[in-house]
Structure 1
Amino acid sequence: MVRTETVVVHDRMRAGAPTAMVIVGDQPFTPLLDFFRERGLSLSAERAYAQTLARFIEWLSVRAEEFWPQDSRGLIYTAFAHDLLFGTYRDGEDALGLNWAATSQKNVARLTRCLVEFSDWLTDHHGIPSLNPMQPGASFSDQLLFWRRWNKWKAGSLLSHIKSRNRAVPKAEVARRIATPGRRNTVLQETKAFPAEQVDALLWRGFINPGKQDAAEPWAKFNLRDILITLLCLYGGCRESEPMHLWVDDVFVDPDNPDLALVLIHEPHDGLIDYLDPMTGAKRKTNRADYLQRFCGCKKPLTMENGRRHAGWKGNLLTHLDRNAFQVFWVDRNAGRVFLTLWRLYIAHVRPPALQTPWAFLTKDAKPLGAEAYSDSFSAAVCRIGLTASKWGGTSTQALRHRYGQWLNELGIGEKEGQVAMHHRNVKSQQVYRQLGVAKVAAAMGDGQVLELPNFENKP
Structure 2
Amino acid sequence: MIYTESVLVRDNIRADTPTILLLVGSEPFEPLLEFFREKCVSLSSERSYAQAAGRFIEWLSVRADEFEETSKRSLLYTAFVHDLRFGTYQDCLDVHGLNWTPTSHQNLKRLINALLELSDWLSRRHSATMLNPIHHQASAADQLIFWRKWNKQKSGSLLAHTKSHRRVAESVFAVRQAGLPRTRNGMLQEARAFPADRLNDLLWNGFANPGNEGDPRPWVKYNLRDILITLLCAYGGCRVSEPLHLWADDVFVDPDHPDMALVLIHDPSDGMAEYIDPFTGSRRKIVRADFLQRFCGGRKPLTRETGRRHAGWKGCLLTHRERKAFQVIWVDRNAGRIFLTLWRLYIQYVRPVTPHVPWAFVTKHGQPLGVEGFDDSFRSAVRRIGLTPAKWAGTSSHGLRHRYGQWLNELGLGDKEGQVAMHHLNSKSQEVYRQLGLARVVDAIDKVSISTLPEFKEAE
TM beyond 0.5: yes
Q: Secondary structure at the match of 2:398?
A: helix
Amino acid at match of 1:330: W
Instruction: Report how far residue 24 of structure 1 moved.
Output: 1.1
CA RMSD of aligned residues (A): 2.4
Structure 2 CA distance for aligned equivalents of residues 164 and 273 of structure 1: 46
Instruction: Report how far residue 159 of structure 1 moved.
Output: 5.1
Structure 2 CA distance for aligned equivalents of residues 178 and 265 of structure 1: 44
Amino acid at match of 2:308: R
- State the percentage of identical aligned residues: 60
1:113/1:174 contact within 8 Å kept:
no
Structure 1 residues 181 and 210, CA gap change in structure 2 (3 angstroms) = farther
Structure 1 CA distance for aligned equivalents of residues 201 and 364 of structure 2: 25
**Could you say which residue in structure 2 is the equivalent of 1:81?**
81
**Could you say which residue in structure 1 is the equivalent of 2:237?**
237
**Could you say which residue in structure 1 is the equivalent of 2:417?**
417
**Could you say which residue in structure 2 is the equivalent of 1:103?**
103
Structure 1 residues 448 and 168, CA gap change in structure 2 (3 angstroms) = closer
Structure 1 residues 164 and 420, CA gap change in structure 2 (3 angstroms) = closer
Structure 1 residues 168 and 448, CA gap change in structure 2 (3 angstroms) = closer
2:21/2:28 contact within 8 Å kept:
yes
- Superposed, which structure 2 residues align to 1:247-258 within 5 Å? 247-258=247-258
- Superposed, which structure 2 residues align to 1:151-300 within 5 Å? 158=132, 171=172, 173-175=174-176, 177-300=177-300
Structure 1 residues 407 and 166, CA gap change in structure 2 (3 angstroms) = closer
Instruction: Report how far residue 455 of structure 1 moved.
Output: 8.0
- Superposed, which structure 2 residues align to 1:317-396 within 5 Å? 317-396=317-396
TM-score calculated relative to the size of structure 2: 0.89
Structure 1 CA distance for aligned equivalents of residues 456 and 288 of structure 2: 76
Instruction: Report how far residue 281 of structure 1 moved.
Output: 2.2
Aligned residues: 431
Instruction: Report how far residue 172 of structure 1 moved.
Output: 5.7
Amino acid at match of 1:318: L
Q: Secondary structure at the match of 1:7?
A: strand
Q: Secondary structure at the match of 2:49?
A: helix
**Could you say which residue in structure 1 is the equivalent of 2:147?**
none
Structure 1 residues 88-97 or 324-333, which shifts more? 88-97
Structure 1 CA distance for aligned equivalents of residues 141 and 298 of structure 2: 53
**Could you say which residue in structure 1 is the equivalent of 2:14?**
14
Structure 2 CA distance for aligned equivalents of residues 67 and 389 of structure 1: 49
Structure 1 residues 406 and 280, CA gap change in structure 2 (3 angstroms) = same
1:116/1:174 contact within 8 Å kept:
no
Amino acid at match of 1:34: E
Structure 1 residues 255 and 105, CA gap change in structure 2 (3 angstroms) = same
Amino acid at match of 2:414: G
Structure 2 CA distance for aligned equivalents of residues 259 and 167 of structure 1: 59
Q: Secondary structure at the match of 2:112?
A: helix
Structure 1 CA distance for aligned equivalents of residues 209 and 56 of structure 2: 47
Unaligned runs of 5+ in 1: 128-144, 152-157
Structure 1 residues 322 and 36, CA gap change in structure 2 (3 angstroms) = same
For residues 21-75 of structure 1, give each alpha carbon's deviation from its aligned partner in whole angstroms, at most 9, with x where no partner exists. 1011111111111111111211111111011111111111111111112222112
TM-score calculated relative to the size of structure 1: 0.89
Instruction: Report how far residue 334 of structure 1 moved.
Output: 0.5
